[in-house]
């Protein structure tokens, strides 16, 4: 009987302790922990957002420099084509100045296109980060009503986006090995058709 009494007493005591912990705010500690975690995610998002903005500006600056080079080469090629009465790509290849300018212009076009793709990627990343930041801010306002699974899913989604864009956060990464070079013939067509 004494053993039964102790078991009942301990079970009752455990139940009272659990009820007391729920009533006194053990759950808000978990909510506070989740709130701190979400606030840290906002800080991570804001840092990466700013870094992607910086890379966008850097890429625009580099692209602008390349545009300047392009704008010097194209008129020279056009003058040579006209003065030498060049009628086709094959004829242009026979004149070294035209040939080398077209080769250089192919490289410039390739890198300009790659930088534009990076700028588009950075814009996309910033849009996704802004969307996630808004979700986090909304969730922080409703933290007491959210379940852990929803918060964990959001923090996982944020981590995936951050990991996707983090390599580009510090330096513009254009791998020359992976670039598909624009052909000289296509460059020739761009110059002739004035599609830069």
Q: For 74-107, what is each residue's pLDDT tens digit?
A: 999 999 999 999 999 999 999 999 999 999 999 9
Q: Are 175 and 121 in contact (CB under 8 A)?
A: no
Handedness of CA 30, 34, 35, 39 (dihedral sign): positive
With a CB cutoff of 8 Å and minimum separation 6, the contacts of 191 are 74, 77, 78, 81, 102, 105
Please state the pTM of the whole predicted model: 0.73
Nearest to 156 by CA among 132, 123, 124: 132
The proportion of the chain whose per-residue pLDDT surpasses 70, expressed as a percent, equals 84
Contact 66, 112 (CB under 8 A): yes
Rounded Cα gap, residues 118 and 59, in angstroms: 8
Shortest CA distance to 41 belongs to which of 172, 142, 124, 160? 160
* For residues 45-58, average pLDDT: 97
Query: For 146-173, what is the mean pLDDT?
Result: 87
Dist. CA 50–CA 116, nearest whole Å: 19
């Amino acid at each position: 009987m004494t053993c039964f009494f102790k078991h009942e007493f301990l079970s009752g005591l455990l139940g009272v302790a659990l009820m007391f912990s729920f009533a006194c705010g053990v759950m808000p500690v978990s909510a506070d922990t989740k709130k701190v975690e979400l606030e840290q995610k906002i800080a991570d998002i804001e840092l990466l957002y700013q870094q992607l903005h910086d890379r966008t500006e850097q890429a625009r600056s580099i692209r602008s420099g390349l545009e300047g080079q392009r704008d010097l080469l194209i008129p020279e090629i056009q003058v040579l084509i006209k003065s030498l009465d060049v009628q086709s790509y094959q004829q242009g290849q026979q004149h070294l100045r035209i040939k080398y300018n077209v080769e250089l212009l192919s490289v410039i076009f390739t890198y300009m296109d790659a930088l534009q793709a990076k700028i588009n990627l950075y814009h996309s990343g910033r849009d996704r980060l802004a969307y996630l930041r808004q979700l986090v801010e909304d969730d922080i306002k409703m933290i007491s009503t959210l379940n852990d699974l929803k918060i964990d899913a959001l923090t996982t989604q944020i981590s995936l986006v951050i990991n996707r864009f983090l390599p580009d956060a510090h330096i513009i990464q254009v791998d020359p090995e992976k670039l598909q070079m624009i052909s000289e013939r296509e460059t020739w067509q761009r110059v002739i058709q004035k599609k830069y």
